[in-house]
């Protein structure tokens, strides 16, 4: 599932941040955001920016024209354990995962602008596996039954030839 | 005359999976829990020339290729044909198919959402063109005591006519 927007909170009225996921009472991932990316109190995805890690280990979503950050979530309604995102293409993608207790895995994925993102995932216990594709313009496609990009390319070659 | 197996000739509507720029046409084969297909059969775009939106079996000049990931793709071939057979009773089975070179891809057809009203056996059979196919099956059959499980075979000739026989009980 593609996340379209996340509400922004503010610390001391100066430092905007977003909370993603939940681990007990705490957010699973806290990301400070550049004020330039805040619109109407929200961050809209895909966002023109990149998530970087500071020296002290905090995450900051910095505005950048060279990178795009997508936000997706994989949901497992069957309580089999957390879904796993086990591969992201292109390999240069920077992935920051978060979870909601024990049934949703999400990720902020930063890639160079103009690149299509392929995310391979499987739900807890391997009951369901699939692939999600996010195009540079933010369109999101999700299909079950595929392991990775190569499987799709192999079928495409046979179907098209 | 009673037919023990059915040669499925219904049209299967071609659906598509879209992943960005990639569009993959497929048909769902079989019908399992709550209507989910047993497997997707990806269809070559050459078989959908002239804007065809459906596939019907028996399909001459076609074969099924299995990819490394276990997916099945229906592609054109000059040497093979593809048949779809169903044994239309509950507790039915397709035991074997001859010639040995024929490839068999089995599927199930549930008669209710969870199969409580019966599960029919079916198979896609890829056979060389011009060769008869012998399908050995097991199904419920009307006998003096009903229902009784019987074994038999059907021979499907290249012109899709069939010769069927029930084998005598072993006991």
Distance CA A148, CA B67 (A): 13
Question: For residue B64, what are the contacts with CB-CB under 8 A and spacing of at least 6?
Answer: B41, B72, B73, B74, B75, B82, B103, B105, B124, B126
Q: Do B24 and A147 count as a contact with CB atoms less than 8 A apart?
A: no
The answer to whether B123 touches B115, Cβ cutoff 8 Å, is no
Answer whether residue B170 shows pLDDT above 80. no
* Maximum separation of any 2 CA atoms in chain B, in Å: 61
Domain that holds residue A136: 5-160
pLDDT per position as a tens digit, B18-31: 998 899 999 999 99
Residue B171 within a domain = no
Is the ipTM higher than 0.95? The answer is: no
A143 close contact with B: CB closer than 8 A: yes
Q: Report the b/e string of A58-94 with b at 16+ CB within 10 A.
A: ebebbebeebbbbbbbbebeeeeebbbbeebbeeebb
- Distance of residue A152 Cα from the nearest chain B Cα, in angstroms: 9
Q: Can you point out the beta strands (E) in A21-103?
A: 29-33, 38-39, 42-44, 49-53, 59-63, 67-75, 84-89, 94-100
Number of structural domains in chain B: 1
- Distance of residue B1 Cα from the nearest chain A Cα, in angstroms: 41
Residue B1 within a domain = no
How high is the mean pLDDT of chain B? 90
Domain that holds residue B48: 6-166
Q: Do A143 and B44 count as a contact with CB atoms less than 8 A apart?
A: no
Q: Do A116 and B20 count as a contact with CB atoms less than 8 A apart?
A: yes
Q: Residue window 71-130, chain A: list those with CB within 8 Å of chain B.
A: 116
The answer to whether B2 touches B150, Cβ cutoff 8 Å, is no
Residue B25 within a domain = yes
**Running DSSP on this structure, what letter comes out for residue A77?**
T
pLDDT per position as a tens digit, B41-88: 999 999 998 888 999 989 999 999 999 989 999 999 999 999 999 999
pLDDT per position as a tens digit, B121-169: 999 999 999 899 999 999 987 777 677 888 999 999 999 899 988 888 7
CA B149, B155, B159, B161 torsion: positive or negative? negative
Answer whether residue B1 shows pLDDT above 70. no
Residue B24 within a domain = yes
pTM over 0.90: no
Number of structural domains in chain A: 1
Answer whether residue A51 shows pLDDT above 90. yes
- Write the residue in B19, B40, B65 that is nearest to A158 by C-beta: B65
Distance CA B141, CA B164 (A): 13
């Amino acid at each position: 599932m593609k996340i379209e927007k996340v509400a922004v909170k503010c610390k001391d009225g100066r430092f905007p941040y977003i909370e993603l996921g939940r681990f007990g009472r705490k957010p699973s991932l806290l990301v400070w955001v550049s004020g330039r990316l805040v619109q109407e109190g929200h961050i809209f995805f895909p966002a023109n920016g990149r998530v970087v890690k500071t020296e002290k280990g905090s995450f900051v979503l910095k505005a950048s024209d060279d990178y795009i950050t997508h936000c997706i979530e994989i949901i497992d309604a069957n309580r089999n354990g957390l879904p796993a995102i086990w591969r992201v293409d292109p390999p240069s993608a920077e992935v920051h995962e978060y979870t909601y207790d024990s049934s949703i895995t999400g990720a902020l994925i930063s890639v160079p602008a103009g690149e299509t993102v392929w995310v391979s995932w499987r739900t807890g216990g391997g009951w369901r596996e699939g692939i999600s594709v996010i195009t540079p313009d933010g369109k999101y496609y999700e299909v079950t039954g595929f392991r990775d990009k190569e499987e799709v390319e192999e079928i495409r070659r046979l179907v098209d030839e | 005359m009673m037919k023990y197996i059915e040669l499925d000739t219904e049209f299967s509507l071609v659906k598509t999976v879209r992943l960005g720029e990639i569009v993959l046409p497929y048909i769902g084969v079989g019908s399992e829990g709550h209507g989910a297909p047993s497997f997707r059969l990806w269809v070559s775009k050459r078989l959908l020339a002239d804007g065809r939106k459906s596939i019907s079996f028996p399909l001459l000049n076609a074969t099924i290729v299995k990819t490394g990931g276990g997916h099945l793709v229906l592609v054109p071939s000059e040497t093979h044909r593809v048949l779809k057979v169903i044994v239309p009773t509950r507790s039915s089975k397709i035991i074997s198919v001859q010639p040995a070179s024929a490839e068999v891809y089995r599927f199930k057809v549930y008669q209710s959402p969870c199969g409580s009203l019966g599960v029919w056996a079916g198979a896609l059979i890829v056979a060389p063109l011009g060769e008869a196919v012998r399908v050995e099956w097991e199904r419920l059959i009307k006998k003096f005591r009903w229902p009784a499980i019987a074994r038999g075979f059907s021979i499907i000739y290249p012109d899709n006519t069939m010769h069927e026989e029930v084998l005598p009980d072993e006991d």
